[in-house]
A and B are shown apart, each in its own frame.
Chain A
Amino acid sequence: MKRVITGDHAVAMGAKLCRVEVVPAYPITPQTLIIEHIADFVNDGEMDAKFLTMESEHSVMSAAAAASAAGARVFTATSSQGLAFMHEMLYATAPLRLPVVMANASRTLGGPPGIWCEYNDSMGARDSGWLQVYVEDNQEALDMIIQSYRIAEDKRVLLPVMPCLDGFVLTHTVEPVEIPQQEDVDSFLPPYSPDITLDPARPAMIGTFMPAEYIMELRRQTALAMESAKKVIGEINDEFARRFGRNYGGLIDMYRMEDAEVALITMGTVTSTSREVVDDLRKAGKKVGIIKLRFFRPFPSEDLHKVLSGVSAVGVFDRSISYHGGGPVFNEVRSALYGNSLPIINHLAGIGGRDVTKEQIMKMFDVTIKAAKGEKMNLINWHNTRGESV
């Protein structure tokens, strides 16, 4: 059944279809619609979950961690300042291997305040042990809630997952979304059955004080779990594609990359606009393509290395700045492609929620194509920014 719904509504529908058991919630723009929809589902008897109206995001993630440790499938959602406020607790959930799923409505973080789309909220959580996936449309938002639970609860992973959807561009914009059948989701996603929980019948201590003699092995186990998530994400993507008919490609997706000479790495909704630009450029005879970076954690270094082997230059779109010159995606890509001599050009755009237009993306390709031809270009380019003349 298709319904025309917002991204936030799609996320809430996803959580409902996953039969989540505990939902600690706290409002923050532009995520609030998610928890409002879930509250409606619960109060209308459509969803059998414990809905907890917490008093802060820090308490949301605390309750989420504790409920997950006690064996429940937990869902919540946050954004920006809220994600920052619960930052401490992100670092508890991942190494304690609690497979919480939390949607993040991507929104600019910090002063001066704003509420529109930027990735500087979730980028700050990149070293917390959470998986991060950035979605392009409302359908992908819903589908990735379902896939996230399969990935998070896979015994080879057991890490929390943060699907990120562009604030307002998706959260508050309606699109037609195919709502999967409950029985199809049930057969794709079995109930959560962890081996170790807080259960008086089998007492366990979770989160004990950990001296230096032991903690390094634990950190390494978390790192290995993140690494093995790469394979699991691919498997689950393929299984989802077989069952539901929608294939998102796994860690990355590609558009017209078969014979591409120049590639642009995109994330989120900017990908859709970029597809149109690629079509236009292809018509003009330019061999260009897109790599949609879906998962930022785990970072698809091997995949990028492989798909970029025949390319003569790559542009990297960043929707946040790391205050050392470039954006965080740019630096990850450069690190992943170390040893490869192709030019890697950073394109900063859309920061603070500024629109990213076809003209800007055309410019990104233009600069990257020139770099491919051997022209000396700036490594870091601020697009559509006063005082900067890309």
Chain B
Amino acid sequence: MIKIKDLPDDNLFTAGHTACPGCGVAMSIRNAIRVLGKDTTVYVPASCAVVFGTTFPYGAWKVPFFHTAFENTGACLTGMKAAFEKKGKEVTAAGFAGDGGTYDIGLQSMSGAAERNDDVLYICLDNEAYMNTGIQRSGGTPFGAWTTTTPVGTKIQGNQRFKKNLGDIVVAHEIPYYATLSIGHPLDFIRKVEKAKSIKGFRFLHMFTPCIPGWKMDPAKTVEVTKLAVESGMWTLYEVENGEKRITYKPGKMKRVKDYLMMQGRFRHMGEEDIKKLQMWVCKKWSLHYKEKGAPEVCEIEPPVEHHAVTEEHREMHGP
């Protein structure tokens, strides 16, 4: 495995791009491409990464870059890889798509490439909302989060659904490799990118990438927030290789989800009941994932009362 100190700094994604300070997407791209190396061709669908990395006449990529639309990362990777294979070129075809471009509009295209087990590397940069269009809810948005399409209203506050379990959907395609990554855990990050690079077939790297304006957080805290996501169980680090799931990092002590939430403006409106509801979801996820109950001081809590969005009036109108 490459050591951090030996990671090449050949600026394949150069400084001078226009991402926000502390952008989790930019950090993930930069570190991933350092491991993937120059014999890589990238596809980036519509996203901040296209704007901050490729606004003509400037360009941050020193490997070949392609972009056409939003919902087609899987298909474009399939197409470019087919051309490379036909021409006998050894090139890693890597896509960097956001959560909207993967969980939602690009799910079909990703699923097609996964099901065909095309020899491509799909990277999902998950910042949990449509950030490029100005923070709208996606299937990857967590429960309670404010976005401009899940506003904090007088009747309904924030996102009412829990984050979609994309990992299981991807893994269900029986692909050779799926892994979750965090820029707060660089050794684990590098090892997984290296491993994904070395495997043939459809590989999926799921990267947790904080968004400073979208999450309303301190730009100096990107790594800290990412670490807290893992320590609280909001994000888990694991890999599934040929169907075998392996936990690659387990927090020593489960932290309260509230500690994670309070670092971010997008959750700060949440009342105790909603926080409890989310905490219970995390505890369930934790016990399923780590095959052991979450910390008693975190998970042994009174269940929340019925969510306030479902009022008597609502029930009369829509049924139970």
Chain A: residues with CB nearer than 8 A to chain B? 21-22, 24, 49-50, 52-56, 58-60, 62-72, 74, 88-89, 92, 96, 197-200, 203-211, 214
Chain A residues, CB < 8 A from B76? 62-63, 65-66
Chain B: residues with CB nearer than 8 A to chain A? 38-41, 43, 50-51, 54-57, 59, 61-69, 71-72, 74-80, 82-87, 89, 91, 108-109, 111-112, 115-116
Chain B residues, CB < 8 A from A49? 86
A209: contacting residue among B50, B61, B77, B86, CB under 8 A? B50
Closest A residue, CB atoms, query B77? A66
**Contact present for B87 and A59 (CB under 8 Å):** no
**Contact present for A58 and B65 (CB under 8 Å):** no
Smallest Cβ distance from B239 to chain A, in angstroms? 26
**A22 and B81 alpha carbons, distance in the complex (Å):** 10
B86: contacting residue among A50, A53, A197, CB under 8 A? A50
B65: contacting residue among A21, A63, A206, CB under 8 A? A206
**Contact present for A89 and B82 (CB under 8 Å):** no
Smallest Cβ distance from B11 to chain A, in angstroms? 12
**Contact present for B72 and A89 (CB under 8 Å):** yes
**A52 and B69 alpha carbons, distance in the complex (Å):** 20
Chain B residues, CB < 8 A from A67? 79-80, 82-83
**Contact present for B40 and A62 (CB under 8 Å):** no
Chain B residues, CB < 8 A from A72? 82-83, 86-87
A21: contacting residue among B51, B54, B57, B86, CB under 8 A? B86
Smallest Cβ distance from B170 to chain A, in angstroms? 15
A sample of 23 inter-chain contacts (CB < 8 A) reads: A22-B79, A50-B83, A52-B79, A52-B116, A58-B75, A60-B75, A66-B66, A66-B78, A66-B80, A67-B79, A67-B82, A70-B80, A72-B82, A92-B68, A96-B68, A198-B80, A199-B64, A200-B40, A200-B91, A204-B64, A208-B55, A211-B56, A214-B56
Interface of A is mostly: mixed
**A66 and B78 alpha carbons, distance in the complex (Å):** 8
Chain A residues, CB < 8 A from B66? 66, 69, 198, 205-207
**Contact present for A205 and B69 (CB under 8 Å):** no
**Contact present for A200 and B79 (CB under 8 Å):** no
**A255 and B61 alpha carbons, distance in the complex (Å):** 55
**Contact present for A70 and B84 (CB under 8 Å):** yes
**Contact present for B72 and A59 (CB under 8 Å):** yes
Chain A residues, CB < 8 A from B77? 66
Chain A residues, CB < 8 A from B41? 70, 198, 200
**Contact present for A63 and B79 (CB under 8 Å):** yes
**Contact present for A208 and B82 (CB under 8 Å):** no
**Contact present for A198 and B54 (CB under 8 Å):** no
Given contacts A203-B62, A208-B59, A209-B50, contact A63 B75 (CB under 8 A): yes
Given contacts A24-B75, A62-B69, 19 further A-B contacts (CB under 8 A): A22-B82, A22-B83, A50-B85, A52-B116, A54-B78, A55-B111, A60-B75, A62-B109, A66-B77, A66-B78, A69-B80, A70-B83, A72-B82, A89-B72, A205-B59, A206-B67, A207-B65, A208-B67, A209-B55
Smallest Cβ distance from B107 to chain A, in angstroms? 11
**A100 and B280 alpha carbons, distance in the complex (Å):** 53
**A53 and B43 alpha carbons, distance in the complex (Å):** 20
**Contact present for A66 and B54 (CB under 8 Å):** no
Chain A residues, CB < 8 A from B63? 200, 203
Closest B residue, CB atoms, query A23? B82
Chain A residues, CB < 8 A from B80? 66-67, 69-70, 198
**Contact present for A62 and B72 (CB under 8 Å):** yes
**A22 and B85 alpha carbons, distance in the complex (Å):** 10
Chain B residues, CB < 8 A from A203? 38, 61-65
Closest B residue, CB atoms, query A66? B79
Smallest Cβ distance from B289 to chain A, in angstroms? 30
Chain B residues, CB < 8 A from A55? 108-109, 111-112, 115
**Contact present for B112 and A59 (CB under 8 Å):** yes
Among A58, A59, A89, max chain B CB count under 10 A is at A59
Smallest Cβ distance from B241 to chain A, in angstroms? 25
**A56 and B78 alpha carbons, distance in the complex (Å):** 13
**Contact present for A52 and B64 (CB under 8 Å):** no
**Contact present for B54 and A208 (CB under 8 Å):** yes
Closest A residue, CB atoms, query B63? A203
